[in-house]
Amino acid sequence: MDEPTTDVIQGTLDMLILKTLSLEPLHGFGIARRIEQISRGVFKVNPGSLLTALQRLERSGWLDAEWRQTENSRRARIYTLTRAGKKQLENETADWSRRASAIARLLKAEG
Amino acid sequence: MPIWRQIVRGLRTLTNRKASDRDISDEMESYLEQASAELVASGLSKDEARRAARLNLGSPTAVREQVRSYGWENLVASFFSDVRYAVRRLRGNPGFTTVSVLTLALGIGASTAIFSVIEGVLLKPLPYPESERIVALRHTAPGLHIDDMNMAASLYFTYSEETRAFQDVAMWSNDTGSVTGLGQPEEVPAIIVSHRFLSVLGVKPAIGREFVAGDEHPSGERAVILSDGYWKSHFGGDRSVLGRRMVVDGEAYRVIGVLPPSFQFMDRAVSLMIPQRTNRANVRLISFCCQGLARMKPGVTLAEANADVARMLPMAPLKFAVNPGFGANVFAESRFAPRLRLLKDYLIGDIAKTLWVLMGTVGIVLLIACANVANLLLVRADGRQQELAVRSALGAGRGRIAWELLLESLLLGGAGGALGLALAYGALRLLTASGLEHLPRIHEISIDSTVLVFTLGISLAAGLLFGLIPVFKYAQPQISDALRSAGRSLSQSKERHRTRSLLVVVQVALALVLMVGSGLMLRTFQALRHIDPGFAGAEEVETLRISIPESQVKEPDRAIRMEEDVLRKVEEIAGVSSVAMIGSLPLDGDGNDPVYVESPAFPAGAVPPIRRYKFVSPGYFRTVRARLIAGREVTWSETYSQAPVAVISENMARELWHDPRAAIGKRIRPTLKDDWREVIGVVGDMPDDGVDQKAPGIVYWPLLRKNFESSATDETRSVALVIRTPRAGSTALLKELQQAVASVNSSLPLADVKTLQSVYDHSLARTSFTLVLLGIAGGVALVLGVIGIYGVISYSVSQRTREIGIRLALGAPLQGVAGMFVRHGMILSGIGAVCGLTVAFALTRLMKSLLYDVSPADPVTYAAVSAGLIFAAMLASYLPARKASQVDPVVALRSE
């Protein structure tokens, strides 16, 4: 962890969760840990926001949730991406890339 | 699918909050475990790991609240908890709540009841498919001074053959038939129709077939269609009734169909539907027997239909021979013209105005009720002002407080609406049970979905109306003022009272409007009671109808003799002082026809004015105690010898010869071909179309007539017996009457047994109905208005106890203090009365058509009502004022 940590950028948490779950089904803590790992510790997920977001995404039909035994034989709610979730992830990714490249162009612009 | 998931999860959370909370806790717990397990793996001790994980998670309560706050169900849940809270507050003040709900229930209940009448009578379409295309074929003949006239058989055929605007044309008339051979002989209501009648209405028989043209053929077999009710009561609903024969007026009829249970026409319960059997070849031009009915083609307007009839009218004299004694251009001379109306408008008649006046009345009652409740709410909000200020100071938003206040009002409105609906239901049951016969379509009145929506709407609107007043005043309290005054209340500024005073003024004004309305109705009713109906002692006159069918007694004079035999038998009954007969009772109306006069003669070819025709037995005027002004009644020997005599009404005698005595010996006749008849008597005027209608000129002919209206012998086979006896109206008398009639002819049914008084009351029914309802509304309004004044003054007294104490301590006289409050009450009611008089003056014009012999600006009514109201207001403000003068200065000053 060589870079300073920061909270997840406003409005991107949903996308990050969907992306993480598109790799494999995970429980809540696993998702938080995975986001931190992949971002190399740049993003730190607030547990309250994460659990609320999971609740919202599940209600919207993008995730399915199920209580299961984990590999370390503890009970946990495992989240899986649904078909609708996959589609939503594609939309959000495309949208994000568009905006990110626009911002990058703006920042690179020279007088 | 996602929406489905949203709804299911939301509902689960709503119904089982605990389970969903446990879900959230479990998830958090599992999160903690996973987190601490990882920390343990990185080398921390179990406890330390647990603590670190908790630290990372933050406050569990905050997280749980955050997770919980997502979802639509939270809005619902908070709404319910607001409702629960509001209900608890209302229940905490049962006196206030009960009074408010009852007041509202009264207003909403009355509005709902009258609205369901309006809905059922005026708004709902008639129960036929595309009923807006069905028209009543009425006519008008200004040349004969006849406004509204029925239809002739000649016109029925003309219209059927020549129409461009109508899809179907029919003719109908009411009748009764004596059914024999099915148990007791019975006189049942029947309707005679042309064969396309049911097609015009768009109704099909439930079983069997409709009439066809062949059923009208005079030599064919007679056919009859039964009503559902008659079929069930007399044939047990047996489907094999089709093809059976039954005997009506001595003739065999073949049952060919049964009407559907829902069938109704012109509010008359009919048992038998019988085809007319008019031979077209024998029809003359003037044959006004029947009512016309037609279904317009799709897209045709009433104006186009009228134009079509106007086009066809001149064809009738070319198709049909004119009756002997009339000129060929009689239609043109009488300026005969169409006056078509939609069947619904024709059926409803002029009741619409009455109903809308009543609707306005109950609307005003509702407004007064709202003003009353608003006043109570203001007092309550005043008491809560400190609480609201404190909450506001602690950060409660203006919207939040407004919402709470409004929710209470809406709940009150809702509760008032629910109770009002129950009241309306009861009121309607009473109304339909009272069988107010003047109200058309009374059996179609019910609380249906439209009425429910109306009730819900006015309940919410009422809740908003009186709820918003305190909201505007208190939702943003003057925090500093309210908190400061908590310690020591100051005498209230005038401003604080202004809204309440305004509400009282409005109440008084509206109450005055209603009282003026009911006062005017009362004066109308009095005026009507003072009209001389031309008869007297009506409560001691029993009446009943009999008719002698031609199939039983063919010869005219034998039929009349049988009527006299019945009369003689009835005379023998104990307590009967006199008996007579008439074709149709007074106030029951009858046919009109022209009357020619020998001198002064009418110009040749002109049709003279029409008069009401009635047919009487000897002794009729004596029995009903009519005033015989000149001459004498007809005798029995004149009746049987068919002597050419007649009695006429006073107004007709004055119109023709200026003096009733001058009429005696003058000669009149119905048509130019008839014998002249000598006027032998003049009798006082009797209104015949309702007590409030001008008495028509009436000719009373004998029961048996020679060369009358173009027939050699003409007799009156259907008569009403009028029987003067103190026993009128008793069931014992009815039994003896039945025996008396049966002893002459056992197959004669008695019909329409009633006292003459009930005929008279019936004619006043609509006025008394309106009077009673307006009277109730006016009374309720007065009580509510007086309560309003009482409330404001006594509240003002209770708020100013300290001030009163100081005044008394400084030596103000007792009467002066009491007078101050009475004056306040009088000023409020005075302003209210002035506003009310102005509004009443403007509004009562709308009820002009309901009034008789009273101007809508009747000064007596206005003065009496104002005086009554001011007196009531004085009383209402004196009671609390007296309390003020009893204040003990020491107690008052110490009380805080």
| DSSP symbols for B840-856 | HHHHGGGGGGG-SS--T
Q: At what angle do helices A13-23 and A83-108 cross, to 10 degrees?
A: 120
> What is the number of alpha carbons within 13 Å of residue A11 lying toward its C-beta?
5
Q: What share of chain B is helix, strand, coil (3-state, %, to 5)?
A: 55, 15, 30
Pick the closest to residue B121 from B320, B350, B292, B402 (CA basis). B350
| Structure tokens that stand for B436 in this block | 């107010």
Q: Which residues of B touch A53 (CB under 8 A)?
A: none
What total number of domains does chain A contain?
A: 1
B541-547 and B718-724 beta bridge pairing: antiparallel
Q: How far is A99 from chain B (nearest CA, A)?
A: 28
Write out residues 54-73 of A within 8 Å (CB-CB) of B: 55-56, 59-62, 67, 70, 72
Q: At what angle do helices B765-799 and B814-843 cross, to 10 degrees?
A: 150
Q: Any CB–CB contact under 8 A between B56 and chain A?
A: yes
Is the Cβ pair B28, A51 closer than 8 Å?
yes
Is the Cβ pair B1, A59 closer than 8 Å?
no
Q: Does this complex have an ipTM over 0.95?
A: no
Measured CA to CA, the distance from residue B153 to residue B290 in angstroms comes to 7
Q: Any CB–CB contact under 8 A between B572 and chain A?
A: no
Facing residues of B274 across strands?
A: B192
What's residue B486's pLDDT? 47
A76 closest CB neighbour out of B5, B30, B62 = B30
In three-state form (DSSP H/G/I as H, E/B as E, the rest C), the secondary structure along B158-211 is HHHHHCCCEEEEEEEEEEEEEEECCCCCEEEEEEEECCCHHHHHCCCCCEECCC
Residues, chain A: 111
Measured CA to CA, the distance from residue B704 to residue B715 in angstroms comes to 5
Output Rg (C-alpha) for chain B, integer angstroms.
38
Measured CA to CA, the distance from residue B186 to residue B751 in angstroms comes to 8
Query: What is the SS3 assignment for B33?
Result: helix
In Å, how far from its chain's centre is CA B878?
40
Q: Do B678 and B724 meet the contact criterion of CB atoms below 8 Å apart?
A: no
Is the Cβ pair B31, A51 closer than 8 Å?
yes
Q: Do B223 and B159 meet the contact criterion of CB atoms below 8 Å apart?
A: no
Q: Do B201 and B134 meet the contact criterion of CB atoms below 8 Å apart?
A: yes
Tell me: cis bond preceding B600? Omega within 30 of 0 counts: yes
Task: Tell me the backbone φ, ψ of residue B852, rounded to 5 degrees.
Answer: -135, 120
Q: Do A75 and A29 meet the contact criterion of CB atoms below 8 Å apart?
A: no
Q: Do B96 and B470 meet the contact criterion of CB atoms below 8 Å apart?
A: no
Query: What is the SS3 assignment for B591?
Result: coil
A1 domain residue, yes or no: no
Burial of B467 (0-12, 13-18, 19+ CB in 10 A): buried
| Structure tokens that stand for B625 in this block | 């105690």
CB B617: neighbour CB atoms within 10 A? 26
Query: What is the SS3 assignment for B576?
Result: coil
Is the Cβ pair A47, B58 closer than 8 Å?
yes
Q: How far is B70 from chain A (nearest CA, A)?
A: 7
Measured CA to CA, the distance from residue B795 to residue B880 in angstroms comes to 9
Size of interface A-B (CB pairs under 8 A): 71
> Could you write out the DSSP letters of every residue in B760-827?
HHHHTHHHHHHHHHHHHHHHHHHHHHHHHHHHHHHHHHHHTHHHHHHHHHTT--HHHHHHHHHHHHHH
A60 domain residue, yes or no: yes
Share of chain A above pLDDT 70, in %: 93
B186-193 and B272-275 beta bridge pairing: parallel
Measured CA to CA, the distance from residue A18 to residue B861 in angstroms comes to 82
H or E, element range at B235? helix B228-235
Instruction: Name the region of B513 (left: φ>0; alpha: ψ -120 to 50; beta: rest).
Output: alpha
A10 domain residue, yes or no: yes
Q: Do B708 and B661 meet the contact criterion of CB atoms below 8 Å apart?
A: no
Q: Any CB–CB contact under 8 A between B28 and chain A?
A: yes
Q: Any CB–CB contact under 8 A between A37 and chain B?
A: no
Contact partners, residue B428, CB within 8 Å, separation at least 6: B113, B116, B117, B445, B446, B447
Measured CA to CA, the distance from residue B165 to residue B154 in angstroms comes to 18
Residue in A with minimal Cα distance to B33? A74
What's residue B811's pLDDT? 82
Q: pTM of the predicted model, to two decimals?
A: 0.76
| Structure tokens that stand for B747 in this block | 């197959």
Pick the closest to residue B407 from B80, B100, B101 (CA basis). B80
H or E, element range at B254? strand B251-258
What's residue B613's pLDDT? 93
A65 domain residue, yes or no: yes
Q: Alpha carbon of B247 to those of B257, B271, B520, B744, B759: distances in Å?
A: 16, 14, 53, 21, 31
Residue in A with minimal Cα distance to B24? A51
Dihedral of the alpha carbons of B94, B100, B101, B106, in degrees to the nearest 10: 140
What's residue B323's pLDDT? 79
In three-state form (DSSP H/G/I as H, E/B as E, the rest C), the secondary structure along B317-355 is HHHCCCCCCCCCCHHHHCCCEECCEEHHHHHHCCHHHHH
A59 closest CB neighbour out of B9, B26, B30 = B9
Measured CA to CA, the distance from residue B862 to residue B859 in angstroms comes to 5
A38: domain range? Answer: 6-108
Pick the closest to residue A51 from B67, B53, B6 (CA basis). B67
B34 closest CB neighbour out of A56, A61, A76 = A76
Query: What is the SS3 assignment for B707?
Result: strand
Q: Which residues of A touch B67 (CB under 8 A)?
A: 48, 51-52, 55
Pick the closest to residue B895 from B816, B812, B815, B806 (CA basis). B806
Q: Alpha carbon of B145 to those of B140, B331, B334, B580, B657: distances in Å?
A: 9, 13, 8, 32, 20
A26-27 and A75-81 beta bridge pairing: antiparallel
Strands lying side by side in the sheet with A26-27:
A26-27, A75-81, A63-69
Q: Do B203 and B128 meet the contact criterion of CB atoms below 8 Å apart?
A: yes
Query: What is the SS3 assignment for B571?
Result: helix
A69 domain residue, yes or no: yes
| Structure tokens that stand for B111 in this block | 């509005």
A77 closest CB neighbour out of B30, B62, B70 = B30
Is the Cβ pair A74, B30 closer than 8 Å?
yes
CB B750: neighbour CB atoms within 10 A? 18
Q: Tell me the torsion sign for CA atoms B486, B489, B495, B498.
A: positive
A92 domain residue, yes or no: yes
A36 domain residue, yes or no: yes
Q: Which CATH number fits the domain that encloses residue A33?
A: 1.10.10.10
Measured CA to CA, the distance from residue B883 to residue B891 in angstroms comes to 14
Position with higher pLDDT, B803 vs A34: A34
pLDDT band with cut points at 50, 70 and 90 for residue A1: very low
Q: Do B347 and B266 meet the contact criterion of CB atoms below 8 Å apart?
A: yes
H or E, element range at B278? none
Residue from A7, A27, A37, A52 whose CB has the most chain B CBs within 10 Å, to mutate? A52
Facing residues of B342 across strands?
A: B135
CB B100: neighbour CB atoms within 10 A? 26
pLDDT at position A72 over 80: no
Measured CA to CA, the distance from residue B701 to residue B710 in angstroms comes to 15
First to last CA, chain B: 65
What's residue B302's pLDDT? 94
**Could you report the average pLDDT of every consecutive run of 10 residues in chain B (896 residues)?**
74 79 83 83 84 81 79 82 89 87 90 90 90 93 80 93 94 88 84 94 94 89 94 92 90 94 87 91 85 94 95 91 76 87 89 87 90 86 80 81 87 94 89 68 84 92 87 66 52 64 88 90 89 91 89 89 94 94 87 84 76 94 94 94 94 93 92 89 92 89 90 90 93 91 87 88 81 83 84 81 82 82 88 92 86 88 91 88 78 66
A78 domain residue, yes or no: yes
Q: Any CB–CB contact under 8 A between A5 and chain B?
A: no
